[in-house]
């Protein structure tokens, strides 16, 4: 499995933007970058995914480096409901997905 590296934890003030980094230096050409988040006592929730180009949806933006060895999940205005563990995962075709420890985001009121 191509692996990802994320900081264990991050803090953000409420209503400020948050940039969650992810390194994936061994990514292959067909690996998609997926982001999920998990709130306490809930299953993971899909956030966004991309291959090469930056992506935007109603939840977040995904910025992918030109060499694809890193990516950044951007929450434009953090709210208290965004406090969660964020997982950056590489997904290739029909291969199984492995979760790392993710980044625990704390949002400060």
Partner 1 sequence: GAVVSQHPSRVICKSGTSVKIECRSLDFQATTMFWYRQFPKQSLMLMATSNEGSKATYEQGVEKDKFLINHASLTLSTLTVASAHPEDSSFYICSARDAGTSGGVEQETQYFGPGTRLLVL
Given the rule CB under 8 A, which residues bind partner 1?
30, 32, 34, 36, 41-46, 49, 51, 87, 91, 93-94, 96-102
When the beta carbons of 13 and 106 are compared against partner 1, the nearer one is: 106
Q: Smallest gap, in angstroms, from Cβ of residue 32 to partner 1?
A: 5
Q: Which residues contact 14 (CB under 8 A, 6 or more apart)?
A: 78, 79, 80, 107, 108, 109
Residue closer to partner 1, measured from CB, 81 or 109:
81
Smallest separation (angstroms) from partner 1 to the CB of 30: 5
Q: Are 81 and 59 a contacting pair, CB within 8 Å?
A: no
């Amino acid at each position: 499995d191509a692996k990802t590296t994320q900081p264990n934890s991050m803090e953000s003030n409420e209503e400020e933007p948050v940039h969650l980094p992810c390194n994936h230096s061994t990514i292959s050409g067909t690996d998609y970058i997926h982001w999920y988040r998990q709130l306490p006592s809930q299953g993971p929730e899909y956030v966004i995914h991309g291959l090469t180009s930056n992506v935007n949806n109603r939840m977040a933006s995904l910025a992918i480096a030109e060499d694809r060895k890193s990516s950044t999940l951007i929450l434009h205005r953090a709210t208290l409901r965004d406090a969660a563990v964020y997982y950056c995962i590489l997904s290739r075709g029909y291969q199984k997905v492995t979760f790392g420890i993710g980044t625990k985001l704390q949002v400060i009121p």
